[in-house]
């Protein structure tokens, strides 16, 4: 064997590896801001999209109001995932492209307790009210920041117990509020079901009573500042695929229309 055989072979192998790992021509980096309630679906959809398309996705999750503020401040993003109400507002302000709107799924709100704790009764409005009044502490999203918190605050007002529950309420700025229950920092969590199911150490008791329930539609759309419209469309099309739709249902979403 010549002295040059091994180095040449090594160089060829290195070149092949570089070719396999190099991003394909035209690959883009998509920057996404997403409502936290859609994290379990949108986040899990990303690896398959990246593998199939060659594009890279960089995503941040937060409640919808901080997303709206960042858009208002002119922050550049390619795609946003918002509740239907805020998506309509974003489109009216010229921040998103209405023709690109894609439904991610619909989700209801539920109640969680620590795993192993007795399951309280919440099937009727009367039962739910009694359970809230019996709880030593509850946790939910700050109403000024997120969809579920805003709705639950209105539920407490409707039930006439807002003042009574205030000293026992822990408000969180974002994230999985049920983690506070898992840590023993609150007895009950009220949040969207898709943000309860991923939390270890808690148990979903069930949805809010029908007359107090809020079904939120989450949508994704390209922004008017998207740097690569074709890549953004490819991701939105991926969200419509059968595999992602099936994933959404598995993660607690009501099947998208």
Residues 90-149 have pLDDT tens digits of 999 999 999 999 999 999 999 999 999 999 999 999 999 999 999 999 999 999 998 999
Mean pLDDT of the chain: 90
More confident of the two residues 10 and 250: 250
pLDDT tens digits, one per residue of 41-59:
999 999 999 999 999 999 9
Write down all domains in the chain, each with its CATH number in brackets.
Answer: 28-106+217-250 (3.40.190.10), 109-212 (3.40.190.10)
Determine the pLDDT at residue 27: 77
Q: Cα(144)–Cα(75) distance, rounded to whole angstroms?
A: 21
| 87: Cβ contacts below 8 Å, ≥ 6 apart | 80, 96, 101, 219, 221
Given a cut of 80, whether residue 11 has pLDDT beyond it is no
Cβ neighbours, 10 Å, residue 254: 14
What DSSP string describes 178-234? Answer: THHHHTTS-SEEEEEGGGTTT-TTEEEEEEPPGGG--PEEEEEEEBTT-S-HHHHHH
From the number of C-beta atoms within 10 Å of its C-beta (0-12, 13-18, 19+), residue 130 rates as middle
Q: Cα(152)–Cα(191) distance, rounded to whole angstroms?
A: 8
Pull the structure tokens for residue 15. 């070149």
pTM of model > 0.95: no
| Residues 72 and 80: beta-carbon distance below 8 Å | no
DSSP state of 22: S
First to last CA, the chain: 65
Phi, psi of 5 (to 5 degrees): -65, -45
Determine the pLDDT at residue 21: 39
Which letter, b or e, does each residue of 88-107 get, where b requires 16 or more Cβ atoms within 10 Å of its Cβ? Answer: ebbbeeebbbeebbbbbbbb
């Amino acid at each position: 064997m010549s002295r040059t055989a091994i180095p040449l072979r090594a160089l060829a192998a290195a070149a092949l590896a570089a070719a396999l790992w190099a991003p394909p021509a035209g690959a883009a980096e998509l920057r996404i801001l997403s409502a936290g309630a859609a994290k379990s679906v949108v986040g899990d959809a990303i690896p398959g999209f990246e593998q199939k398309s060659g594009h890279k996705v960089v995503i941040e999750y937060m409640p919808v109001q901080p997303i709206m503020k960042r858009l208002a401040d002119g922050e550049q993003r390619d795609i946003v995932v918002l509740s239907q109400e805020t998506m309509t507002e974003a489109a009216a302000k010229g921040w998103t492209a209405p023709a690109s709107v894609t439904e991610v799924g619909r989700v209801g709100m539920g109640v969680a307790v620590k795993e192993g704790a007795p399951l309280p009764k919440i099937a009727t409005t009367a039962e739910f009210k009694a359970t809230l009044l019996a709880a030593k502490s509850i946790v939910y999203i700050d109403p000024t920041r997120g969809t579920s918190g805003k709705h639950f605050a209105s539920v407490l007002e409707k039930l006439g117990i807002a003042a009574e529950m205030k000293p026992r309420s822990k408000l969180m700025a974002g994230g999985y509020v049920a983690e506070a229950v898992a840590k023993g920092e609150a007895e009950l969590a009220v949040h969207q079901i898709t943000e309860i199911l991923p939390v270890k150490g808690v148990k979903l008791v069930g949805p809010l009573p029908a007359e107090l329930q809020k079904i939120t539609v989450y949508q994704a759309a390209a922004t008017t500042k998207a740097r690569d419209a074709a890549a953004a469309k490819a991701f939105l099309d991926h969200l419509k695929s059968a595999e992602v739709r099936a994933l959404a249902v598995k993660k607690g979403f009501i099947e998208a229309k």
